[in-house]
Structure 1
Amino acid sequence: MKIISPCRVHMGLIDMNGSVGRIDGGIGATLDYPNCEIVGKESNEIEIEFSSSISNKTAEEDLKALYNRMYTSANNILNKIGQTGISLKLKEVIPAHTGLGSGTQVSLSTGKLTSSIYGYNLDAYSIAQLTGRGGTSGIGVSGFEYGGFIVDGGHTFGRNAEKIDYKPSSASKNVKTAPLLFRHNFDWDVVLTIPKIPVEEQVADKKEVDIFKKFCPVPEIDVNRFCRLVLMKMMPAIIENNMKSFGECINEIQGLGFKGAEVQLQKSTLKNLLIHLQNISYSGLSSFGPTIYSLGDKKEIIEYSNEFFDREGLEGDIIISKGNNTGYKLI
């Protein structure tokens, strides 16, 4: 049996203020490529291997992290369903540390494939609970299950609530996945510009936790504007297939609330790339980056991204992708 799951662009956390008794909330969209692909079969023990294409181009510490993530997810699911083993081979993987949701998709894909091979139909939300995903944003989990453009409702906040402080998903344990508020097909092509960033400049783990502590709560005025844009402009625009209206929101929210903090924390080169791409397209930073997603004239976006890479001496990938409206696929 084989599973293929989409990547996602995370467009922003809606409310990192919390004064109404709720935080997080997210907007994002799932894309067909890059994706996660795993093949599996029954076994008496947990066996995990990687395709040569992954082994040859992935750093050893990242391979170790992938192995541990897959092993933990498989083990948790096996314990839940009363089985002892599974044989899994990771054939394709979403690049790690790029803001495209690699960790969530590997964990959920491993869990879904493991349970399905033994005839159990666990949904993404159950698997997320068992594998420790979706503690802050629900975009990756709902995107895995359904695909499309998604708005999630975050978590209760305060004393005796789901969350008592501001934390990223990696540090938010035993928190239920945020409820799905809105889902609609996302039918536009997207260009992903992914500059290669040194490990020491990537935002993850303790760095991410420290950033949440430093920048939260965000000003209520930013949250109010963000919410208005989502409810009264982005959601109607996606229903009406109005890229211009949707894209204007993407450009504006790069300076609002927690998304504004994510953008300002980037090195000047990446910020300049985003600003210049916004001159010819609708562009935003996915999660903590470094991936920039762009809507507009694909040829022009690709030409400009290549010119910028050459001018700044950068390496990276430029990928044309499209909306995924199905979520995972089991074959």
Structure 2
Amino acid sequence: MTLKINFTNYHLQSDWQDASINEKIWLHSINIKNNNHNDDDLKKNYDLKIINESDIIIDNDKKNDDNDFIIEDYSKKCLAINDVKSNVTHRFIAPVRVFQSIHQKSIISLDVAPTGIAVSSSTDGTMKIWDTCTNVLKYELKGHYLDVNRCRFFPSNEVIVSVGLDMLIKIWSAIDGSCPVTMKGHTGSINDLAIVDRGRNIITVGRDGLAKLWSCAKQTCIENLFDTENIPINACAIKSFSNSYDLGQRKDSANDDISRSPVLSMISVRRPFNGFVVSHQDGSVDFHYDNHNQLLHLTGSDCDPIYQIVYDDKFIYTACRDGKVRKYYLNNAFE
């Protein structure tokens, strides 16, 4: 049995929150259907006109003749529209802050500790520790020879581990920026890592097709967990299950995703609601949660891919190809 998809998704002008009174912003909709999703007739464009700081209307030059949606709420923090046909409310959230001077090129990896201290790496060849509260650079971490693919805090938030194209694993002090540990063992670029428990061990995966378990204390590889025989492994994660967990069979992505753009990153969020934040190659970022009549969109990227999403128990951060880190507060969608 084939699942029939008929869902209208919306995209809003990336810098909509900066528009002035009487200025117009664009809204784009596409009616996603799994059998005919390339039909141009399914796409529509609208102009919205800002009346004042709390009121926005559909511009008279491009009327909403079909009553496709109604505007529910508007502020500089959030714009909410309700799709009449599906009765789904789309809430577009503006970033509360944009960090644009940390790196000069695309940001590949990002992690943020609950203290607000961040570590990020870029295609400009740098990896830096900086403060999201003050936007002050603390340290530039030098030691990798090529781009750093992944950098993460250990659970203590005082130690950082990084892996990269140079096949090296490095452990850094987030306190003073020193690098006391370097480990080698992969024969290809290391693409991702996972921290086991409190950080006694880590798992790395790479282009050489190996998944390796390491001892941080002994600074050695304990064992190869598995070998795909040179088929690259791009990502890894750790999750505990009581027995086993069936991931099911792969399906056509056209049947189960509201976006046609490839997914680049996905994280789980606990507050204010349990759900998942998903980023796409087209720059869209969506928050899916238990209320299927609400969909949250994190705006800001102008079609630049979002390579990573981070959640620090309060704020969501996105790492973008445009070299910017954007900070979001989900509660703004309902204030």
Whose radius of gyration is greater, 1 or 2? 2
* Structure 1 or 2: more strand by fraction: 2
TM-score range, shorter chain: under 0.3
TM-score by length of structure 2 reads: 0.25
* Structure 1 or 2: more helix by fraction: 1
User: Comparing both chains, which one has the higher relative contact order based on Cα–Cα distances under 8 Å and sequence gaps of 6 or more?
Assistant: 1
